[in-house]
């Protein structure tokens, strides 16, 4: 498998959980970690401890940009994207490889099963969030990778959507994983939650606008915008945390409405 697939993990302040993911992947294939916090200590620790891990320190421009960078650095035919909080179950990696070899060029993407009792392979007809994605590097580059306009959220759905639009088959296969640790150190919860809410709303409008049209995107998201405005006004005096969350949601949407880039970044040193 060493020369067949490379695993790419995009990380940000995930040093407390990322090793669970690395250990589940094992030592038989190369792993590229794109660390968006530019944490030199994490790079030193992981590269010293794991011979198959290479850590690239990167400016924090979002998941899409980091994932695209990882693919460019990969030297194998296929790449497997994993979140730092995903843990592959025993045999999952082998299942991905075996299905890829069996189907050769007859698939666009492979994603793991959410039903741990299922032994079947299903054809996916609607885009869905996917923390783990297996794809041929050549096809990934042909599709121009992830849309780097997304900083966070919806980039995976957009990615699957574009494959489906090109009539590329997406299969959900009986490879299993757990996804329960959270992708960052809990000491950053407040900043991360504000960041998540800002970008979730920004990305939601951008995705719908890109898929359909600006008017439809505006009409679909307007109730969320008005609700966020109402709640941030309500929580202004007595709940600072909720005020910041709804302020982030409101401003994320407004910035997307105004066609501003997804510029917000968490205030984390």
Q: Alpha carbon 256 to chain centroid distance? A: 20
CATH number for the domain harbouring residue 68: 3.90.550.10
Contact 41, 26 (CB under 8 A): no
> In the beta sheet, which residues pair with residue 177?
88
Q: 110-130: b or e for each residue (b if 16 or more CB lie within 10 Å)?
A: bbbbeeeeeeebeebeebeeb
163 and 142 housed in the same domain: yes
Mark the ranges of the chain whose per-residue pLDDT is less than 70.
1-2, 115, 180-188, 268-269
Number of domains observed in the structure of the chain = 2
In terms of pTM, does the model score above 0.85? yes
Q: What is the pLDDT of residues 197-223, one digit of tens each?
A: 999 999 999 999 999 999 999 999 999
211 and 251 housed in the same domain: yes
Element (H, E) at 35: strand 31-35
Q: Containing domain of residue 65, as a range? A: 5-179
192 and 161 housed in the same domain: no
Q: What is the pLDDT of residues 113-149, one digit of tens each?
A: 876 777 889 999 999 888 999 999 999 999 999 999 9
106 and 231 housed in the same domain: no
Q: Nearest Cα to 129, choosing from 104, 159, 151?
A: 159
158 and 202 housed in the same domain: no
Please say which residue of 179, 213, 247 terminates a domain.
Answer: 179
76 and 125 housed in the same domain: yes
- The predicted structure's pLDDT at residue 31: 98
9 and 63 housed in the same domain: yes
Total residues belonging to the chain: 269
């Amino acid at each position: 498998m060493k020369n067949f697939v490379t695993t790419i993990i995009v990380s940000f302040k995930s040093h407390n959980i990322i090793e669970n993911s690395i250990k589940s992947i094992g030592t038989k294939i190369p792993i590229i970690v794109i660390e968006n916090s530019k944490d030199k200590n994490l790079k030193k620790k992981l590269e010293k401890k794991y011979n198959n891990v290479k850590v690239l320190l990167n400016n924090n421009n979002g998941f899409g940009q980091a994932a695209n960078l990882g693919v460019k650095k990969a030297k194998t035919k296929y790449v497997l994207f994993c979140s730092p909080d995903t843990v592959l179950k025993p045999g999952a990696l082998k299942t991905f490889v075996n299905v890829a070899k069996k189907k050769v060029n007859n698939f666009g993407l492979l994603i793991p099963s959410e039903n741990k009792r299922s032994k079947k392979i299903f054809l996916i007809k609607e885009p869905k969030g996917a923390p783990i994605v297996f794809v041929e590097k050549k096809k990934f580059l042909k599709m121009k990778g992830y849309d780097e306009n997304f900083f966070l959220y919806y980039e995976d759905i957009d990615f699957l959507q574009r494959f489906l639009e090109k009539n590329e088959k997406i299969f959900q296969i009986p490879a299993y994983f757990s996804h329960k640790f959270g992708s960052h150190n809990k000491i950053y919860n407040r900043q991360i939650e504000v960041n998540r809410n800002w970008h979730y709303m920004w990305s939601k409008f951008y995705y719908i606008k890109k898929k359909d049209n600006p008017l439809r995107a505006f009409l679909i998201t307007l109730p969320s915008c008005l609700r966020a405005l109402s709640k941030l006004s309500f929580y202004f005096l007595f709940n600072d945390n909720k005020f910041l969350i709804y302020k982030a949601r409101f401003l994320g949407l407004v910035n997307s409405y105004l066609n501003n880039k997804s510029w917000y970044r968490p205030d984390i040193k």
